[in-house]
Amino acid sequence: MKAAAEVEKDTGKVMKNRDQKLISVYGVADLNNGAIGLYNTGLSCCLNSLLQVFFMNRHFTVILRRITVPFSSAEQRKNVPYQMLLLLEEMQRGKREAVYPLELSRCLSLHGVELFVQHDAAQLLLILWNLIKSQITNMDLVERLTALYTIWVQEYLVCQRCSFETNRDSHMITLPLPMFDSRSYLLRTLEDSLQCFFQPEQLTGNDMCFCEQCKQKTPCLQGTRLKHLPLTLTLHLKRFYCKKSTRTQKISHSLPFPQSLNFNDILTQEQCHTDAKDKVDWQYDLFAVVAHLGSANFGHYCAYTRSLTDHQWYCFNDSSVCQVSWDDIKCTYGNADLRWGETAYLLVYMKKNPQQPHP
């Protein structure tokens, strides 16, 4: 009896450790399951990778779990956030290593998202975001979702003769970062790319703009100022480009990115348009990497995400899920000599200590 009791005690410890590990992977995961993969249903690696990044973000899943369920079955089949919720619950409820995202794929096809084609991760992310936001009926949840992902900037144009400025505010969910500077030199680091994005451009000659105050075309300074950064910040490395009369090509050269990012150390005061209180909140930790393997015309996506509780990294490669190290993440920096190598395409950062944490 004593031996049996000891075995039961040891088994209980093993199960407790296992449950704690599963909690750390998903944060709000069902204790009967852990990190679950998604089967590739035919060139769906891009969708699978983006879904895993969404689902590993507990700030997003809290919003997703509070949506209003559509009334009719027809509306449910066409509702993207509802189908995402069903998929998330299936992943957390089942006992399989992976599940099929078939119903969500069918739902997306009803909204013009083609199946069995290669998608660009940045473009598909924007499509998903717009569908999710437009189909959530609770306006409070829409505001929370917007605050979670939206970047606010100010675009400006300054006359170099009279200093008259025109500007407008705009927003985006990804910050599109260049791989080359204004002289077509390759940028060396992510910080260099951020500085280049916010570097103003001189408009002269044929590029001069009409100044309302001077009443004529004048040399101008055109640029973008950063106004507000969200809790979840997505950076888009523009690795794909088109040359005249040629097909799309991929830039595979190395662009290192840090585990921690402080915009106060990167941007100048002139490149920002915000108050000091907001800038205190501009410190980030890397949360996820959507990486692309292959060429511009034929490739594969996978996602690396960091658990928000145990801070361990996991690789989601369709139906395969495994724990990885920071050295594995650094392999996605890129390599100009490996044109088919794995390169980071989307970088997702999370605020370290937000002053107003998202509910």
The CATH class of 36-150 is alpha beta
The tokens describing 89, both together, are 């619950």
pLDDT tens digits along 26-66: 433 332 346 899 999 989 999 999 999 999 999 999 999 99
Q: Are strands 174-177 and 232-237 parallel, antiparallel or unpaired?
A: parallel
Catalytic: which of 59, 119, 300, 358?
300
Phi, psi of 227 (to 5 degrees): -110, -45
38 backbone dihedrals φ, ψ, rounded to 5°:
-125, 125
- Residue 27 pLDDT: 39
What pLDDT digit, counting tens, does each position of 197-245 carry? 999 999 988 988 999 899 899 999 999 999 999 999 999 999 998 776 5
pLDDT at position 34: 62
Check pLDDT > 50 for residue 9: no
Residues 150-198 pLDDT 10s: 999 999 999 999 999 999 999 999 999 999 998 889 999 999 999 999 9
In this prediction, residue 244 carries a pLDDT of 64
Report which DSSP code applies to 219. -
Domain ranges for the chain: 36-150, 173-199+230-354
- pTM score, two decimals? 0.87
pLDDT the model gives residue 268 = 87
Query: Can you give the pLDDT at residue 242?
Result: 79
Q: Which two tokens stand for residue 252?
A: 């595979």
Contact 53, 67 (CB under 8 A): no
**Which residues make beta-bridge pairs with 346?**
236, 290
* pLDDT at site 249: 86
> How deeply is 24 buried, as exposed, middle or buried, from its count of CB atoms within 10 A (0-12, 13-18, 19+)?
middle
Cα of first residue to Cα of last residue in the chain, in angstroms, is 49
Beta strands in 80-231 (DSSP E): 98-99, 151-159, 165-172, 174-177, 201-203, 209-211, 216-218, 220-228
Give the pLDDT of residue 299: 92
d(CA 283, CA 54): 21
Q: Are 308 and 288 in contact (CB under 8 A)?
A: no
pLDDT band at 143 (very low <50, low <70, confident <90, very high): very high
**DSSP E strand stretches across the chain:** 37-38, 98-99, 151-159, 165-172, 174-177, 201-203, 209-211, 216-218, 220-228, 232-237, 240-242, 248-250, 260-262, 283-294, 299-306, 313-317, 320-324, 342-351
CA 95, 101, 104, 106 dihedral sign is negative
- Tell which residue, 226, 218, 219, has the closest CA to residue 199: 226
* pLDDT confidence of residue 182: 87
Structure confidence at residue 274 (pLDDT):
72
Active site residue 300: yes
CATH no., domain 173-199+230-354: 3.90.70.10
pLDDT at 170: 94
Q: Is 45 a catalytic residue?
A: yes
pLDDT digits 0-9 by tens, 13-32: 433 443 343 333 443 333 23
Query: Are both 36-150 and 173-199+230-354 of the same fold?
Result: yes
Rounded to whole angstroms, the Cα distance separating 79 from 201 reads: 43
Token readout for 342 is 């794995």
Report the mean per-residue pLDDT for the chain.
86
pLDDT value, residue 95? 73
